[in-house]
Amino acid sequence: MNTVKPESIALFCLTPGGVRLAKRLAAMLPLTCFTSEKLLEEGFLPFENGFASAAREAFSSYSALIFIGATGIAVRVLAPLVNDKFSDPAVVVIDERGQHVISLLSGHAGGANALSRYLAGMLGADPVITTATDVNEMAALDTLAFQLNARMSDFRAAVKTVNQMLVSQQRVGLWWDDELDEDVSRCDRRGFITVTDLH
């Protein structure tokens, strides 16, 4: 599972408005900002071998990518690389006026939903989150596992089953060892039923 590491976020912008917004974000968060030679300013790196090449290279070396611009551009550039929600980096798209922050890829395990909410809060923007558990105001098993750095057998199948049960309003019990009480108390458990006794 990926986690968004603040020192490992790449930001891409293609327009003067995007550069202005990138500078605002970079003043609040450690980002590696990329733009074209034409728009290059202090604190920005030029696209090496063009925008698509730079974005694709960043996909494999950063924990999160932020695109300021059209969602379609990010989709077209990254489509050949998208592989697995448990290993792909978080991908977030922001319109250049900073009104909408879209969690595009790896919302739970990659942290794009949390990053989108955080960035939206910084900008006074609307976070756009479309994962079923989130829009139904429930936790998700993959997010919970990420928060606890937990591992389980057949994780992929468990996430699919449990998250589907949660959004279908079925009862899902959650039990943990006593020594994890403090850690679990900090986690989002909305929708889960706390089980205190297995007997």
Indicate which CATH number applies to the domain containing 96. 3.40.50.11220
Q: Looking at the structure, tell me whether residues 120 and 153 fall in a common domain.
A: no
Helices (H) and strands (E) in the chain, counts: 8, 9
Of 95, 130, 165, the residue at which a domain comes to its end is 130
3-state secondary structure of 30: coil
Neighbours of 142 (CB within 10 A): 25
The rounded Cα 62 to chain-centroid distance in angstroms is 12
Q: Does residue 7 contact residue 64 with C-beta atoms inside 8 Å?
A: no
Count of structural domains within the chain: 2
Cα separation, 119 vs 195, in Å, equals 35
Of 130, 152, 169, the residue at which a domain comes to its end is 130
Give the residues of the chain that fall short of pLDDT 70.
Answer: 1-3, 6
> If residue 12 lies in a helix (H) or strand (E), which one and from where to where?
strand 9-13
Q: Looking at the structure, tell me whether residues 110 and 18 fall in a common domain.
A: yes
Q: What is the pLDDT of residue 3?
A: 64
Closest CA to 147 of 193, 182, 191: 182
Domain of residue 43, residue span:
6-130
Q: Would you list the DSSP string of 86-120?
A: TTSPEEEEE-TTS-EEEEEE-SSTT-HHHHHHHHH
Q: Looking at the structure, tell me whether residues 43 and 140 fall in a common domain.
A: no
Cα separation, 148 vs 83, in Å, equals 24
Task: Give per-residue pLDDT as tens, 108-138.
Answer: 989 999 999 999 999 999 999 999 988 889 8
Residue type, position 192, single letter: F
Q: Looking at the structure, tell me whether residues 34 and 126 fall in a common domain.
A: yes
Q: Looking at the structure, tell me whether residues 101 and 142 fall in a common domain.
A: no
Q: Looking at the structure, tell me whether residues 46 and 85 fall in a common domain.
A: yes
Q: What is the pLDDT of residue 1?
A: 37
| Domain presence at residue 24 | yes
Q: Looking at the structure, tell me whether residues 123 and 171 fall in a common domain.
A: no
Q: Would you list the DSSP string of 136-148?
A: TT---HHHHHHHH
Cα separation, 98 vs 101, in Å, equals 7
Q: What is the pLDDT of residue 60?
A: 95
